[in-house]
Structure 1
């Protein structure tokens, strides 16, 4: 279904992504983990064609994504929706209009200029917001919402595109644990209920284990782990992050229980 073959992105002498090969034969929820600078975001940006590959290829259902240009490239970006860490909403615009922006790449220039939307698109946008539990905020400005609510608006905008693949670049990095759980629950439901492939860049091991069917670990631009959540042991995680025996998963956890346990542990007095 999705095949990545020796994909490389070089910035001068530095290879942000270095000969990555991955093969996904069916829609699943995939977590990509690794330290900052491992190449996770660059990989997703190449999948969405926001970045061009230096070499290698991306193939989806037999179509060479890396060779697409113009209208074909824009159609691919509709089929492969992107959710960003910083939401990328229009702050002063109401929520439902932000969601309707998911239809921009299939509307005429005139309709876009005058902000004209068919009634069926408006109803669909509200239905998606309702599915994500935020339809009551449809008329509010996006800037009036909390971070977790804004990220759900961004998810709704992505689903409005009716994509086959949803890419989420650090979707919970700026959220508190409760909102992080809500957003990850939503992404998992989108996979389970819609049958869409979801690929999410994640920093936290507990999140990858809990929500993903498959986990890919990256280090210095290369894939150093590709397996099931059960195979993601603490020892494997140390290798992915280049950490020593002092590495603690609790320090990177988004679990409310884990955070409570970590903060309630007595600190020994020297």
Structure 2
């Protein structure tokens, strides 16, 4: 389905992503891990065509993605939804209208200017919000919701595109453990129930192991690990993160149970 071949991105003399290659032969939930600056976000932005590759190619179901432009590029971005760490919602706009923004790529300029939506799209937006457990907030301003709720609104907006791939760039990095768990469970259900490919940049190993079928590790722009969650041992993690023998997974855990077992921080 998806083939990433020697994908490279340079910013001046700095190489952010260095000849990254991997294939995905069927819909899966894939976690990409690595320390900040490893190239994870740049990789996803190239896949969505928010950023152009310096070298290499992206192919999806036989279509070359890296050379698309104009309407063909916009059509690809509709098939490949992007979810961001900071939600990218319109804060003063109501929740359902934010979700309906997922249809902008197929609406006329006039309809967009006057905020006109077909009744069917409005019903679909509310159904998606209900599926994500936040339909009761449809009429509220987005800014009135918690961070976890706002991220689910962002996911709902992505689903309005009816995408084949969902790219999530650090979707839980700014959330507390309870909301992080809710968001990851929502992404996992979308993968399992809809058969959509989900690729998420993640900071923590426990999250990748619990929710993903496959884990890709990046270090200094290069892919240094590609395997199953079971193969993601502490030793492998040390290599991905460039850490020493004192590396502790518990210190980066987002699992509520792990946090409950941890010792209290001295005052």
Task: State the distance in 1 between where 2:128 and 2:58 align.
Answer: 30
Task: State the distance in 2 between where 1:24 and 1:255 align.
Answer: 28
Task: State the distance in 1 between where 2:147 and 2:191 align.
Answer: 22
Task: State the distance in 2 between where 1:264 and 1:205 align.
Answer: 22
1:36-75 deviation digits (Å, cap 9, x = unpaired): 0000000000000000000000000000000100000000
Query: Does the residue aligned with 1:66 lie in a helix, a strand or coil?
Result: coil
Residue of structure 2 equivalent to 1:93: 93
Q: Which runs of 5+ in 2 are unaligned?
A: none
Residue of structure 2 equivalent to 1:192: 192
Residue of structure 2 equivalent to 1:137: 137
Residue of structure 1 equivalent to 2:29: 29
Task: State the distance in 1 between where 2:166 and 2:179 align.
Answer: 19
Residue of structure 2 equivalent to 1:117: 117
Aligned pairs for 1:5-16 (under 5 A) are: 5-16=5-16
Task: State the distance in 1 between where 2:82 and 2:160 align.
Answer: 12
Task: State the distance in 1 between where 2:46 and 2:237 align.
Answer: 25
* Count of residues paired in the alignment: 266
Task: State the distance in 2 between where 1:44 and 1:71 align.
Answer: 20
Residue of structure 1 equivalent to 2:46: 46
Q: Which runs of 5+ in 1 are unaligned?
A: none
Task: State the distance in 2 between where 1:12 and 1:44 align.
Answer: 19
Query: Does the residue aligned with 1:215 lie in a helix, a strand or coil?
Result: strand
TM-score, length-scaled by structure 2 = 0.99
Task: State the distance in 2 between where 1:263 and 1:133 align.
Answer: 33
The runs of at least 4 consecutive aligned structure 1 residues that moved more than 4 Å come to none
Task: State the distance in 1 between where 2:6 and 2:132 align.
Answer: 37
Task: State the distance in 1 between where 2:59 and 2:78 align.
Answer: 16
- Offset of residue 153 of structure 1: 0.1
1:184-221 deviation digits (Å, cap 9, x = unpaired): 00000000000000000000000000000000000000
Task: State the distance in 2 between where 1:197 and 1:57 align.
Answer: 19
- Offset of residue 259 of structure 1: 1.2
1:69-123 deviation digits (Å, cap 9, x = unpaired): 0000000000000000000000000000000000000000000000000000000
Residue of structure 2 equivalent to 1:175: 175
1:231 maps onto 2:231 in alignment: yes
Query: Does the residue aligned with 2:243 lie in a helix, a strand or coil?
Result: coil
- Offset of residue 263 of structure 1: 2.7
- Offset of residue 150 of structure 1: 0.2
- Offset of residue 264 of structure 1: 4.4
Query: Does the residue aligned with 1:51 lie in a helix, a strand or coil?
Result: coil
Task: State the distance in 2 between where 1:84 and 1:205 align.
Answer: 20
Task: State the distance in 2 between where 1:53 and 1:263 align.
Answer: 45
Residue of structure 2 equivalent to 1:241: 241
